[in-house]
Amino acid sequence: MFTRKMRTTTLATAVVVTAALTLTACGSAGSSTSDGGQATGKVTLWMYPVIKDETASKKFWQDTEASFETANPGIDLTIELQTFDKRDAQISAALAAGSGPDVVLITPDQAATYRNVRGLLPVDKAVEQDKDSFYPGTLEAATFDDEVFGVPLFQNINTTAYNTKIFADAGVPLPKTWDDLRSAAPVLAKKGVAVMDYAGSPEQTLNLSFYPLLWQAGGTVFTDDAKDIAFDSEAGVSALQLLIDLKKLGGLPADATTDGPKVEGAPIATGKAAMRATTSLPELKQMRAALGAENVALGAPLQGKVQATYGNPGLLALTSINKKENREAAYKVMSYLSSAESQKALNAAAGNLPTRTDAAALGTDPDSLAMAEALKTANPGESSPVARQVMGALAPNIQAALRGDVTAKEALDRAATEARGILQRSAS
C-alpha cells in the first residue's frame, strides 16, 4: 500500500478527478469513508435481489461498485448478485471450502447461526465511527456476546394490511386488537371469509407468523439471557390459544396450517382472508395489484397486551473466508455501503427503510408513515445461536395444536422440552 507511485500525468489527472468525485460523492456522509489511511485489497461481496427490477438492480450494484472503487482506488471490489433460493446451502458450502465472499448480506437469524459455527468475524471496526448514527435496535440485532457481527444495511418492516372492502361490506370496523379479531371472526366467517391470513408452513420463519403474536402477548421466545426457553409461558399459551380460537371461529383460512408466506394466490389475494398481520411494502404492492389499490390499507401492528411486529435489518457480515490482508478493505466496503448517502440511494431503489437516523428517507405518503410508525414497535427477532433449531422444534407443534391434536399448553410444553434439549446440547 505504500508503493503506489503516480508517475505519469494521466495518472495524476486520474487522481484529481477521483478526489473530486470522492468529495461530491461523499458529501454529507463524508465522515464515514475518510479516515486517513488508504486501505488496499480485494473484496468480494454477495448481494441479493433486494431491488425488484433486475435491470435497475444490476445497474445499481455496478454503479455502487464503480463509485466505491473511485473513492477507494486501492480496493478491488466485486459485487456478485446471488439468488435467495437455497442461499444457505450456497453460503455454507462456500464457507466450508474457504472460497467465496468476504462480505455477504444476511439476516440477524442467519448471523446468529453462522456465528455459532464460526463462519463469521466481528465487524465492530466497521461501525465504530458511526455507532451512534444507527438505530440502536438494528445494531442490537447483530450483536452477540458484545461483539457486532453485521453492519445494518437496510431495514425491512412488516405491519398489518387490511382488505378494507371486506370489512366495509360486512360493517365491521378494522380489527386493531386481539379482541377485535375475535369478535370480527364469526361475522366474516358467515360470509366465507377468514378474518386473518396465517402462514403455518414449517418452511416459514416464525418471525413472520407466531412470534409477533407471542410478543404481542407480552411473551418472549427465550429468557433475557438467552439461556432458557420462555415461550411455554402464559403469554405463549394465550398467543397460541388466539390462533386456535380463530381457527374454531372460522377466522383462519382452511389451509392455514400448511400455507406459505406468499401473497400471490393466497387467501389474502383472492378475497378469502380479510387482513394480513406481517406485511412488507413489496407484499402490500402485490395485494394492491390483486385487490385494487383502493381496497387495501396499512394499519398499525396488532395489539394484544402490547403492540408488536417483526422488522429485521439486512446485515453485511464478514465471513471467515476474508483474509487478513483484505480485512481493512472489507471494513471500508461495509462502512461505505452503510453510509447515510448509500443507504438513501438503496432505500430509494429497493423500497426499504434506512438503519441510520441520519439517512431518514421516509416519504410522507400514508404507507411510509405507517411503516415509520410500525418501526417503533418492531422486534428484530430474538437472537440466539439456536434460534433456527428452536423454530424447527416449535413450528410442527403449533401445527399440531392448530389441527386440534393437542391443546395449546401441551403443544408448547412439548416444544419447550425439545427446545431445552437443543439449548443444552449447544451449551455443552
* Residues 40-79 close enough to bind other proteins by CB under 8 A: 46, 49-52, 54-55, 58, 78
Kindly state the greatest CA–CA separation across the chain: 82
Binding-site member from 128, 132, 264, 325 for other proteins (CB under 8 A): 264
Tell which positions 357-386 bind other proteins, by CB under 8 A: 386
Tell which positions 386-425 bind other proteins, by CB under 8 A: 386, 388-389, 392, 395-397, 399-400, 403, 405
Rounded to 10 degrees, what is the CA torsion of 376, 379, 383, 388?
A: -160
Residue type, 131: K
Q: How far is the CB of 404 from other proteins (least distance, A)?
A: 11
Return d(Cα 380, Cα 271) in angstroms, integer.
Answer: 30
Tell which positions 289-318 bind other proteins, by CB under 8 A: 289-290
Of 263 and 359, CB closest to other proteins: 263
Q: Which three cell numbers stand for residue 236?
A: 405463549
Tell which positions 164-203 bind other proteins, by CB under 8 A: 200-203
Q: Is 427 in the site for other proteins (CB under 8 A)?
A: no
Binding-site member from 285, 305, 409, 420 for other proteins (CB under 8 A): 285
Local structure of 278: helix, strand or coil: strand
Q: How many CA atoms lie within 13 A of 231 on its CB side?
A: 33
Q: How far is the CB of 41 from other proteins (least distance, A)?
A: 18
Return d(Cα 355, Cα 155) in angstroms, integer.
Answer: 6
Counting residues that bind other proteins (by CB under 8 A) gives 72
Of 329 and 395, CB closest to other proteins: 395
Q: How far is the CB of 389 from other proteins (least distance, A)?
A: 5
Local structure of 56: helix, strand or coil: helix
Binding-site member from 30, 73, 74, 282 for other proteins (CB under 8 A): 282
Contacts of 62 (CB under 8 A, 6+ apart): 79
Per-residue contact flags (x/-) with other proteins for residues 94 to 133, judged by CB under 8 A:
xxxxxxxx-----------xx-xxxx--------------
Contact 144, 349 (CB under 8 A): no
Alpha carbon distance, N-terminus to C-terminus of the chain: 44
